[in-house]
A = this chain, B = another copy of it.
Amino acid sequence: MGPAILLDYLGVALFAATGALVASRQQLDIVGFIFLAMLTGMGGGTLRDLILGVPVFWVKQPAFVLVCAGAAVLTFFSAHLLESRYRWVLWLDAAALAAYCVYGAYKGLAVTGSPVVAAVMGMMTAALGGVMRDIVAGEPSVLLRKEIYMLAALVGAASYVLADAAGLRPLHAILAGYAAAFGMRSGALIFGWTLPAYHSRPGREAEASLEAARKKRAARRRRRQ
């Protein structure tokens, strides 16, 4: 355990705070804050533990539940002090993403021993809390934003796995993974870093898309006659 457990508390608390901030954007009441804080803070890690087949972390250590509730209450009484809550959501989410992708990779590696599973586990569980938060609250998904997001989680998880394989001490491997993920996501937020996105046309509306394909086929058929 050692230093890794700190990542866990850090990731949960920060994700919980983003959930509570989103609750404030939706003007929910205090229990809505707590629910979204728990969903965001504990959702990704719950899935991680279920998939790994280990006991769910907050069932074993109910302190995590109180961490989420605390973050929700704190946010409820202080969110009005923030200039731009959405910016805070993005930055706290970045710090939490970095903590959780490394912790997911750490736990994935410890349980399965497979570097591929560990990297995927880090990426997925870091992203899923935020994805669930945005879906449940009806916010635009961070996942669909243009700046680098998933790549930062993947790079952080992979950096940790590589640093561990290279024989670094646990604390150093953790710091390497965290720095890689947070650095990359910070650059994306500050400088608008993007990967080359899929450059072709965006999708048409579903029905328009089917209609267009139908017309093209009809035109081709007419030409052939």
Which residues of A approach B to under 8 Å, CB–CB?
22-35, 38, 46, 50-53, 55-56, 58-59, 62, 65-66, 76, 79-80, 83-87, 90, 112, 114, 116-117, 120, 123-124, 127, 131, 135-141, 143-144, 148-151, 154, 194-204, 206, 209-210, 212-213, 216
Other-chain residue from B30, B112, B210 in contact with A195 (beta carbon distance below 8 A): B30
Give the interface centre of A33, A65, A86 by most chain B CB atoms within 10 Å.
A86
Please tell me how many copies of the chain the complex holds: 3
A69 to B34, CA, bound (A): 34
Residue of B with least CB distance to A123: B35
Min distance, Cβ A179 to any Cβ of chain B, angstroms: 19
Min distance, Cβ A200 to any Cβ of chain B, angstroms: 4
Min distance, Cβ A59 to any Cβ of chain B, angstroms: 6
Q: Which DSSP category, helix, strand, loop or mixed, fits chain A's interface?
A: helix
* A203 and B86 contacting across the interface, CB-CB below 8 Å: yes
A35 to B62, CA, bound (A): 31
Other-chain residue from B34, B52, B62 in contact with A59 (beta carbon distance below 8 A): B52
A112 to B60, CA, bound (A): 8
* A117 and B62 contacting across the interface, CB-CB below 8 Å: yes
A154 to B58, CA, bound (A): 17
* A116 and B83 contacting across the interface, CB-CB below 8 Å: no
Other-chain residue from B35, B46, B59 in contact with A117 (beta carbon distance below 8 A): B59
Other-chain residue from B22, B65, B138, B206 in contact with A116 (beta carbon distance below 8 A): B65
* B85 and A27 contacting across the interface, CB-CB below 8 Å: no
* A87 and B38 contacting across the interface, CB-CB below 8 Å: no
Return the 3 tightest CB-CB contacts between A and B, nearest first: A25-B203, A84-B213, A86-B209
* B35 and A150 contacting across the interface, CB-CB below 8 Å: yes
